[in-house]
């Protein structure tokens, strides 16, 4: 008999297994340590280096974990009733909200007018340390404008769909990264897996504070879009 244990967050846990035998119950236990390891930075000749895998993934073709915007732990359900930075719904935000959009505030205190994610709420930075963090909107734009994006349905024979992104910068045209089409988490469902990619930026929407900016892609296009902060998206870390 064997089983697989999947770590959901950094830390330690004691796992105990018990089975019934002819001689009675037999138990055994072990301690499992879960850590996040920074993936290799890929230099595409841009202003930042890009990780070669998603946060929580061990290989480029793995989807990794999903995170709500501004949360640093994966979870089982992604909606406003479980979102850290609100009081139950999208119009009761408790952090990251423009003052001019005060109808989104929770009615206590003053809006913080903060449009950029703080490092303490950045899952890539808190998990990997150092200079690792979530990309900004401008860094996603730079990746799109200076690289060739090619959709594949079968990345190196893995059966995983996504975008192979190769640098167009002189001296770096042999460098590339792969973004798997990991879909997104809405409530407890994973939608669009293998069809679309949803990747967080650090930038909040200036028009709708309940949304942040994502890098979205399918098989034929890629662009910056608005997406509700409470939903679970992939994270591709960058570093200086």
Whats the size of the chain, residue-wise? Answer: 240
**Cβ proximity of 49 and 172 under 8 Å:** no
Q: What is the pLDDT of residues 125-167, one digit of tens each?
A: 999 999 999 999 999 999 999 999 999 999 999 999 999 999 9
Tell me the three state secondary structure of residue 72. Answer: coil
CB 228 within 8 A of CB 240: no
Give the integer Cα–Cα distance in Å for 80 and 117.
18
Higher-confidence position of 214 and 28: 214
Q: Which of 75, 85, 127, 121 minimizes the C-alpha distance to 237? A: 127
Q: Is the pLDDT of residue 122 over 90?
A: yes
Query: Among residues of the chain, what percentage have pLDDT more than 90?
Result: 74
Encode pLDDT of 161-180 as tens digits: 999 999 999 999 999 999 99
């Amino acid at each position: 008999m064997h089983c697989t244990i999947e770590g959901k967050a950094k830390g330690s846990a004691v796992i105990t297994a018990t089975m019934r035998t002819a001689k009675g119950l037999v138990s055994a236990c072990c301690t499992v340590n879960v850590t996040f390891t920074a993936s290799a930075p890929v230099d595409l000749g841009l202003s930042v280096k890009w990780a070669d895998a998603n946060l929580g993934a061990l290989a480029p073709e793995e989807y990794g974990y999903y995170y709500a915007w501004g949360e640093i732990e994966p979870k089982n359900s992604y909606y406003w009733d479980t979102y850290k930075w609100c009081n139950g719904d999208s119009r009761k935000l408790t952090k990251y909200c423009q003052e001019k959009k005060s109808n989104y505030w929770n009615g206590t205190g003053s809006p913080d007018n903060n449009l950029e994610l703080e490092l303490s709420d950045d899952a890539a930075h808190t998990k990997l340390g150092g200079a690792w963090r979530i990309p900004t909107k401008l860094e996603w734009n730079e990746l799109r404008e200076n690289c060739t994006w090619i959709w594949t349905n079968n990345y190196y024979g893995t059966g995983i769909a996504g975008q192979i992104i190769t640098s167009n910068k002189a001296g770096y045209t042999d460098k590339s990264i792969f973004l798997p089409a990991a879909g997104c988490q809405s409530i407890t469902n994973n939608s669009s897996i293998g069809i679309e990619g949803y990747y967080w930026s650090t930038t909040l929407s200036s028009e709708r504070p309940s949304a942040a900016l994502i890098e979205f892609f399918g098989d034929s296009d890629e662009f910056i879009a608005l997406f509700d902060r409470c939903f679970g998206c992939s994270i591709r870390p960058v570093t200086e």
